[in-house]
Structure 1
Amino acid sequence: MSQLLISVIHSILDSEALIDTVLRHYPISDIRNCKLYKRGLNDTYLVETDQQRYILRVYRRGWRNKQEIDFELELLAFLHEQKQSVAYPIVRKDGVLTTEIAAPEGTRYVAVFSYAAGHAVNEKLDGIQSYRLGEALAKIHQTLDKFKSSFTRPALKSEYLLDWSLEAIAPLYQHRKRDMNYLQKQVDKIKKQLEEFKLPLLAPAYGICVGDVHSGNAHFTEHNEPTLFDFDQCGYGWRAFDIAKFLHVAIRMKIDVSVRNSFLEGYQSIRKLSENELSSIPVFIKAAHIWVMGINTNAVGDVLPYGWFTEEWIDERLAMLKSL
């Protein structure tokens, strides 16, 4: 009987093959190993040499297009040039930042990054680290006011944060009509509240945001100096949203409120927020919560299986939304 050909929606690339076919294009020598480190929206590999470590990211097909990837990498290269503490992309020997791969599911892109010094603290974030992380974000915001790109990214505004998210969530929970109606009402309420704040579409209140700053996306040295990484969710938006995104993750991690407040204090030691920006943060926390729900449900079928999205999953997230 002849074998049947079948399509692939998400492949895991062989680590050894990445050394032979991809890493040879980068100025990295004496590679000891390349290991799959983490699966998520993208696949992350840890690359180790005799002297250093690097991160290799294989972007998931269908999540980010080439324009969006180039925007992120160009932004990180700019921040590195401006002496901001971020994990930056390693340039290939031919001067290019990405490598194109013909994966079974179609074209995928690879980027290699420097390894952030220190270690992640996650829910063990303390007040000093939180303050330093807030400072670092404010400095990045100020630096990015000078950044210009010819590439595009989705804007972190209501259409993407809320409408797009609802479109991803609703098909999985059509049988929960009352809850989906509640979610729609929350989306409408958040949109109205954000309009009432009349936040300007000008710097410093508006500009490029990191999109996912939190204590799991930064490493801290023994002197509590942070290096930020994972700018996969960056884009133009209100800077208050970036602060809200940190607070949303910190609440989920059950990080103490005093530690969360230290982040805001650190940020404001560099850039003072307006009253309207401060007032908008609790609303943006709700928007961030819905956006994360949307990102998760958008990944169903390839990164996350349908079995992940149980009744308990939606119950827990709606309960948290109500508590916010």
Structure 2
Amino acid sequence: MLANLEKTSDADLVVPDITHSVVDPAFIAREVARRYDLPGPINAFLLYRGMNDVYMLQGPTERYAVRVWRKTYRDVDEVAYELDFLDYLREQNFPASVGIRDREGKLYFKVAAPEGARAIAVYTWAPGKKFGDMLDITTAEMIGARFAEMHLLGIKHAGPDHVFGTENATRFEVNMPALLDFVYDRPDDLRDYAIIAERLKQKLIDMRQEDVPMSICHCDFHPSNVHVTEDRVITFLDFDGAGEDYMMQDVQNYVWGNLFYGFSDSYGEAFERGYESVRPFTEAEKQYRELFLLAKAFRLVAGMAHSSSAVGRGTLRFRGLDWLGDYIKTRARPLGLL
């Protein structure tokens, strides 16, 4: 029976659209060796494929990290914002995994992937382990204090005449069509998420008139985005979402991430204590704690929906739509968002 099947000619094959290709580690190693003044030989290993793809580079004595950004609705050169800020943090001796300049002095390069141009950058290696793998109250306070220092440096880097805006804080609305498609079979979510998105956006815009300060923020800080060594050397990493935002939103992103991973509230509370030892919260910031926690959850589910075409719905493996929906909606009602 199988012998009678007609074979399809390769010339007749349809070329598909690609949402997320994976770059061969050997290509990464060759390009880094060609472009960067790093001691060789260099080997590259794919660490994980996700929102962006991350590789480890192993040289004779040193390790480096490489990020290949996923193609999104954002312009590929928006990566310059993160890398420029990280370069400033390096100049200020702030403990972050920062970009390394190539032989031409550039912090990133681009390649032509099947889905379009993608940016690639080499970073210093963050030593130690994820904080979530070595939780400690004193270290959580230290992380919070350094995080506040980062926010103050963000204000300084932006400059005294800079006026911060809410475009990044409300960017979740770009992901709303994808979110509504994501929950197509959940009529309550279809109705409620559209209402929440509209009202949350307006709240975040109106808040700009209150004493809720902004800075250049990490925008995705959680216990896995900071590494700590055994002797408590702290290194911040994964600034690929960096942008202008409310500082309290950035703080509550971490507090919410602590909850997301199922860690004790005590670590989030310690983080906030450490933060306030450097930059005390305003009264208005404290009043908006719950709204910022909700905003983080809503941004997350909207972002996961948008990225699902590239990385799949497996991004929900930690918390499902029921858990996220319950978290968002039970807070949306008393906040007047639903």
What's the TM-score, normalizing by structure 1? Answer: 0.89
Q: 1:75: how far off?
A: 0.5
Cα deviation for residue 2 of structure 1 reads: 3.2
Q: Distance in 2 between matches of 1:135 and 1:275?
A: 19
Q: Match of 2:61?
A: 51
RMSD (Å), alpha carbons: 2.6
After alignment, is 209-218 or 14-23 more displaced?
Answer: 14-23
Amino acid at match of 1:54: Y
Q: RCO (CA 8 Å, sep 6+): is it higher in 1 or 2?
A: 1
1:82 positional shift: 0.8
* Residue 156 of structure 1: aligned partner: 168
Report the Cα distance in structure 2 between the residues aligned to 1:188 and 1:171, rounded to whole angstroms.
Answer: 17
8 Å contact kept, 1:119–1:219: yes
Larger-Rg structure:
2
The answer to whether the Cα contact below 8 Å between 2:71 and 2:118 also exists between their aligned partners in 1 is: yes
Residue 320 in 1 paired to residue 330 in 2? no
Q: Contact (CA 8 Å) 1:54, 1:114: kept in 2 or not?
A: yes
Displacement after TM superposition at 1:215 (Å): 1.3
User: How much has 1:24 moved relative to structure 2?
Assistant: 2.0
What is the correspondence of 1:68-217 to structure 2 with a 5 Å cutoff? 68-122=78-132, 124-148=134-158, 155-157=167-169, 159-161=170-172, 163-188=173-198, 190-191=200-201, 194=204, 195=206, 198-200=209-211, 205-217=213-225
Measured in 1, the distance between the counterparts of 2:148 and 2:274 equals 8
The one-letter amino acid of 2:176's match is L
Which residue type is aligned with residue 320 of structure 2? W
Contact map agreement 2:43 2:59 (CA 8 A) in 1:
yes
Aligned partner of 1:215: which letter?
P
**Contact conserved, 2:145 with 2:275, CA < 8 A, in 1?**
yes
2:251 pairs with 1:275: no
1:263-300 alpha-carbon deviations (Å, 9 max, x no partner): 00000000111111111122101000000001100012
Kindly provide the CA deviation profile for residues 226-256 of structure 1, in whole angstroms up to 9, marking residues without a partner as x. Answer: 1100111111111000011001111111111
SS in structure 1 at match of 2:268: helix
Which of residues 6, 9, 15 is equivalent to 2:15? 6
TM-score, with structure 2 as normaliser: 0.85
Query: Residue 309 and residue 124 in structure 1: after superposition, are their counterparts in 2 closer, same or farther (change >3 A)?
Result: closer
1:28 aligns with 2:38: yes
Structure 1: give runs of 5+ residues left out of the alignment.
none
Deviation, 1:192, is: 6.0
> One-letter code of the match for 2:311?
V
For 1:245, which of 253, 260, 269 is the aligned residue?
253
More moved, 122-131 vs 241-250: 122-131
Instruction: Give the superposition deviation at 1:27.
Output: 1.4
Structure 2 counterpart of 1:262: 270
**Contact 2:228–2:235 (CA under 8 A) maintained in structure 1:** yes
Q: Aligned equivalents of 2:10 and 2:129: distance in 1?
A: 51
Q: Deviation at 1:129?
A: 1.7
Percent identical:
25
Moved more, 87-96 or 104-113: 104-113
Distance between the aligned counterparts of 1:83 and 1:235, measured in 2?
20
Alignment CA distance shift 1:313-1:100 (3 Å): same
* 1-structure distance, mates of 2:112, 2:200: 42
Counterpart of 1:246, as a letter, is: Y
> CA 1:41–1:196 in structure 2 vs 1: closer, same or farther (change >3 Å)?
closer
Per-residue CA deviations over 1:187-237 (Å, capped at 9, x if unaligned) read 455456553684347xxx112111011110011022223110011111111
1:80-128 CA-partner distances (Å, limit 9, x unpaired): 1111110010000011111111222221110000001221132642211
Q: Would the aligned equivalents of 2:76 and 2:117 in 1 still touch at CA under 8 Å?
A: no
1:67 to 72, 77, 84: 77
Q: How many residues align?
A: 316
Q: Would you say 1:220 and 2:231 are equivalent positions? A: no
Q: In the TM superposition, what is the alpha-carbon distance from 1:28 to its structure 2 partner? A: 1.1
In structure 2, list runs of 5 or more residues that go unmatched: 1-8, 332-338
Q: Is the 8 A contact 2:47 2:54 kept in 1?
A: yes
Note if contact 1:124-1:255 (Cα within 8 Å) is conserved in structure 2: no
- Partners of 2:27 and 2:281 lie apart in 1 by 49
- Taking the aligned partners of 2:131 and 2:263, their CA distance within structure 1 comes to 11
